[in-house]
Amino acid sequence: MEKENIIEVKDLHVDIKMLEGLLTPVRGVNFEIKKGETLGLVGESGCGKSITCKAILGINDKKCVPHGKIDFRTVDDKEIDLLSLDPKGKEIRDIRGKQISMIFQEPMVAFSPMYTIGNQINEATLLHITKDKKKAKEISMEVMRKVGIANVEKRYNQYPHEFSGGMLQRALIAMALVCNPKLLIADEPTTALDVTIQAQILELMKELQKEFNMAILFITHDLGVVAKMCDRVAVMYLGRIVESGDAETIYANPQHPYTRGLMGSVHKIGGKKDERLFSIEGTVPLAMNLPKACGFYDRCDARIEGLCDKAEPDLVEIEPGHQIACFNCPNAACQAQRAAAEARIKEEEARAAAEETEDKKGGKKRGKR
Amino acid sequence: MEKDNILEVKNVHKRFTSKGITVRAVSDVSFTVKKGETIGIVGESGCGKTTLGRCIVRAYDASEGEVFYRTEAGEELDFLKADRKKMKEIRKEIQMIFQDPYSSLDPRMTVLDIIKEPLKANYPKMSKAEMDNKAKEMAARVGLNPSYLMRYPHAFSGGQRQRIGIARALVLNPSIIVCDEAVSALDVSIQAQVINLLKDLQKEFKLTYLFISHDLSVVEHISDKVGVMYLGKMVEYGSTEQIFAHPRHPYTEALMSAVPVADPKYRQERIPLKGEIPNPANPPSGCYFHTRCQYCTEKCSENTPEYIEVEPGHFVACSRCDELNLRGFDYSQLQ
């Protein structure tokens, strides 16, 4: 594990056994986040981004079976493979909420309506920081103040229904930050909010990131928010990362057909008005019983018949820090991968043909006897 | 009513009363719509944009005000005062597409029945075969596979369901469609498909859209004119270019500065809005926006600003709009 990285996800798979077959929402995801950096994980619904981040914390449903490796650098500079820990054991509970914490999508759903906001924020404080109730309350209130909740003494004893959406999201951030985590996972933290509130929350997150020097894994499908927040971007499709790189590179020079389509389908303010938006035909396929092919094959406008439906490209580096998984790119690394895949397909076809003729011969011989 | 206007909304109010508390969801909204235009209505949640849309199709009865409508036959009348029979007739021409494609379709009806339902309700004498034909034609037009029409809504994805909703609205051959957050629940790539479809249909059937949305980039793309609402009032109304590049109301300026632009190089300075949206049951005195406005003076809390035309087609409700120099989107940075 490299020194400046806080987390390295290596070849992560998540399988879900269902009656109809094996569902594979995450199929070999690799990424790393440096200390204090923001990585944006972008993709449409159903591409596996939420399952990926839940796998990091080990809070997926029992049916989800992860394998692969998730290396995390703890506060005392030890490297731990999070997947090797028992999801109900003491070690992961010591990390979850303290060193890695999470902000959920819908603040209205994430809080329990039965307890006061203060009570729920205090839960983390009491568990991880201090057992002294008075002190814990003070710490929790301090964090609430920091995230911009006014009149904390009164707010502390209020219930979630007495908060507006934006305030509730602030409270959720306070809950996630109370233990100064090293890594914050934000799963669509502003999707349910209005633009003005969204801008406030994003700015707040940026400020707090600087103050605590934490890394953020930012999950969203809003490309505008990504442009504002993230240093690096990873685009996910059907359980795999198809392109990753610096935010500026990806926006200025998207290389994977899916990324290009995604960028084209968002209307940019200031763009030409009469122009039709670029739209990617079809929908995301269900991640079940997938053939050995590029996941984007059906919807791709740059597919190569006879290659993309027979082999799946891996992520290769096309320029420093910019990786894509596509055969159809003029870059040398992609072309090398393409040639290798074509050779492999040819070889397999030749072998299959040879086996077939042998079978026929064998059949004839048997017939003669 | 002017000659090329299809809709004139005049001083519409909508109040809801519950347990003695009155909420002014829409207060004193006026604007005009020309035939074939797309009007975007934007604002934060709770600002009354959906209520306004529903008042216009008369899903709610407005408390006060008039909605003049020019029928296809050329007749002008106040839709809000039309009797039941007349209303039913006009409703054929004013249809609605709803926000949530999951809850707006009856799960126990087949898709064909869903698309046919408006025909059944409005043309009871039409033969079954003709209804089927019309429904199938419309389904094919919006991009649904005709062989799937006997299926139920659960078998369709979000984008497909929204197409069903669009087919249902179009089957009566309306002239105005109120799209209430029609693409908000969809993924971006699907959003683009549905927006393109809406634009194509507009050209083909000469539709007029009232496009209610909180997504400003979508509104900028699709609309000819934009109305900005705050706390039940229309604070600014004008062409898309006027609103986005040269806003005249401080709330519009703040709203524009908060929109995330999909370009990491774009630098924008956000204009902070103080505090939260006031309670609509107890709105502030004077200008409703003065509690959060950075340009607010003492006068703003006393006098209610008038909704005036500052340049042709550009209406603003701000008493200081002449002296302020507000910033919109920096288009030069975006090209």
- Taking the C-alpha atoms of residue A129 and residue A125, their distance in angstroms, rounded to an integer, is 5
pLDDT greater than 90 at residue A291: no
Q: CB contacts < 8 Å between A and B, how many?
A: 123
End-to-end CA distance of chain B: 40
- B265 shares its domain with B207: no
Instruction: At B85, list the tokens.
Output: 């029979």
Domain stops at, among B229, B246, B270: B229
- Environment class of B26 (CB within 10 Å of its CB; exposed 0-12, middle 13-18, buried 19+): buried
Phi, psi angle pair for A135, to nearest 5°: -65, -45
- B10 shares its domain with B140: yes
Interface mutation vs chain A, best among B263, B277, B332, most A CBs within 10 Å:
B263
Nearest alpha carbon to residue A179 among A205, A228, A212, A219: A212
pLDDT greater than 60 at residue A368: no
What's the whole-model pTM score? Answer: 0.85
Contacts of A148 in chain B (CB under 8 A): none
- Taking the C-alpha atoms of residue A126 and residue A112, their distance in angstroms, rounded to an integer, is 18
pLDDT mean across residues, chain B:
88
Interface mutation vs chain B, best among A188, A235, A279, most B CBs within 10 Å:
A279
Give me the domain span that covers residue B255: 232-334
Q: Tell me the per-residue pLDDT of A200-247, one tens digit each, with 9 for 90 and over.
A: 889 888 988 998 889 999 998 888 899 989 999 999 999 999 999 999
Nearest alpha carbon to residue A38 among A183, A173, A136, A179: A183
DSSP string for residues in A206-248: HHHHHHHT-EEEEEES-HHHHHHH-SEEEEEETTEEEEEEEHH
Contacts of B189 in chain A (CB under 8 A): 44, 261-262, 265, 279-280
- B221 shares its domain with B183: yes
Considering only CB atoms, A280 lies closest to which of B157, B189, B255, namely B189
Interface mutation vs chain A, best among B187, B219, B224, most A CBs within 10 Å:
B187
Contact state of B195 with A267 under an 8 Å Cβ cutoff: yes
Instruction: At B325, list the tokens.
Output: 């120099």
Instruction: At A269, list the tokens.
Output: 């303010």
Quick one: CA torsion of B18, B22, B26, B28, rounded to 10 degrees? 150
Q: Tell me the per-residue pLDDT of A39-79, one tens digit each, with 9 for 90 and over.
A: 999 988 878 888 898 899 988 888 889 999 999 998 888 89
- B117 shares its domain with B204: yes
- Taking the C-alpha atoms of residue B266 and residue B261, their distance in angstroms, rounded to an integer, is 7
Segment B111-116 shows an average pLDDT of 93
Neighbours of B122 (CB within 10 A): 14
Q: Is the ipTM of this complex over 0.85?
A: no
- B206 shares its domain with B253: no
- B222 shares its domain with B238: no
Nearest alpha carbon to residue B218 among B195, B237, B201, B239: B195
Would you say A312 and A294 are in contact if contact means Cβ atoms under 8 Å apart?
yes
- B61 shares its domain with B192: yes
- Taking the C-alpha atoms of residue A17 and residue B179, their distance in angstroms, rounded to an integer, is 40
A78-84 own/partner pairs: CB under 8 Å, 24+ apart: A79/A1, A82/A56, A82/A57, A82/A58, A83/A12, A83/A55, A83/A58
Instruction: At A3, list the tokens.
Output: 């020194």
- Taking the C-alpha atoms of residue A262 and residue A44, their distance in angstroms, rounded to an integer, is 9
Contact state of A277 with B335 under an 8 Å Cβ cutoff: no
- Taking the C-alpha atoms of residue A118 and residue A137, their distance in angstroms, rounded to an integer, is 8
pLDDT greater than 60 at residue B19: yes
CATH of the domain at B105: 3.40.50.300
Please tell me the predicted confidence (pLDDT) of residue A156. 93
Contact state of A195 with B44 under an 8 Å Cβ cutoff: yes
- Taking the C-alpha atoms of residue B139 and residue A20, their distance in angstroms, rounded to an integer, is 31
Contact state of A279 with B193 under an 8 Å Cβ cutoff: yes
Stretch among A356-365, B83-92, B295-304 having the lowest mean pLDDT: A356-365
Neighbours of B165 (CB within 10 A): 24
- Taking the C-alpha atoms of residue A8 and residue A80, their distance in angstroms, rounded to an integer, is 10
Please tell me the predicted confidence (pLDDT) of residue B146. 82
- B147 shares its domain with B256: no
- B299 shares its domain with B162: no
Contact state of A224 with B260 under an 8 Å Cβ cutoff: yes
pLDDT mean across residues, chain A:
88
The nearest CA of chain B is from the CA of A252 a distance in Å of 8
pLDDT greater than 70 at residue A369: no
Strand order, beta sheet including B38-42: B94-97, B176-180, B208-212, B38-42, B225-230, B233-239, B314-316, B308-311
Q: Tell me the per-residue pLDDT of A144-190, one tens digit each, with 9 for 90 and over.
A: 988 888 889 999 999 999 888 888 888 999 999 888 899 999 998 88
Q: In percent, how much of chain A has pLDDT > 70?
A: 96
Considering only CB atoms, A196 lies closest to which of B44, B329, B334, namely B44
- Environment class of B66 (CB within 10 Å of its CB; exposed 0-12, middle 13-18, buried 19+): middle
The nearest CA of chain B is from the CA of A367 a distance in Å of 48
Number of domains in chain B: 2
**Which chain B residue is nearest to residue A260, measuring alpha carbons?**
B189
Would you say B182 and B49 are in contact if contact means Cβ atoms under 8 Å apart?
no
Q: Tell me the per-residue pLDDT of B35-62, one tens digit each, with 9 for 90 and over.
A: 999 999 998 888 888 899 999 999 898 9
Would you say A128 and A155 are in contact if contact means Cβ atoms under 8 Å apart?
no
Q: Distance from CA of residue B135 to its chain's centroid?
A: 26
Instruction: At A144, list the tokens.
Output: 């609430």
pLDDT greater than 80 at residue A366: no
Which element (helix H / strand E) includes A23? strand A21-34
Cβ contacts of A186 within 8 Å, gap of 6 or more? A102, A103, A205, A216, A217, A218, A219
Contact state of B255 with A262 under an 8 Å Cβ cutoff: no
Contacts of A228 in chain B (CB under 8 A): 260-261, 264
Nearest alpha carbon to residue B289 among B247, B241, B246, B230: B230
pLDDT greater than 70 at residue B316: yes
The nearest CA of chain A is from the CA of B223 a distance in Å of 9
- Taking the C-alpha atoms of residue A14 and residue A64, their distance in angstroms, rounded to an integer, is 6
- Taking the C-alpha atoms of residue A113 and residue A318, their distance in angstroms, rounded to an integer, is 50
Query: Which of B 210-249 lie inside 8 A of A, CB atoms?
Result: 214, 216-218, 220-221, 240, 244
- Environment class of B323 (CB within 10 Å of its CB; exposed 0-12, middle 13-18, buried 19+): exposed
Please tell me the predicted confidence (pLDDT) of residue B115. 93
Please tell me the predicted confidence (pLDDT) of residue A218. 94
- B61 shares its domain with B128: yes
**Which chain B residue is nearest to residue A201, measuring alpha carbons?**
B258
- Environment class of A3 (CB within 10 Å of its CB; exposed 0-12, middle 13-18, buried 19+): exposed
Which residue's entry shows tokens 């394998």?
A67
Interface mutation vs chain A, best among B99, B188, B256, most A CBs within 10 Å:
B188
- B110 shares its domain with B170: yes
- B180 shares its domain with B312: no
The nearest CA of chain B is from the CA of A42 a distance in Å of 11
Q: Tell me the per-residue pLDDT of A72-123, one tens digit each, with 9 for 90 and over.
A: 998 888 899 999 888 888 888 889 988 999 998 888 888 999 999 999 999 9
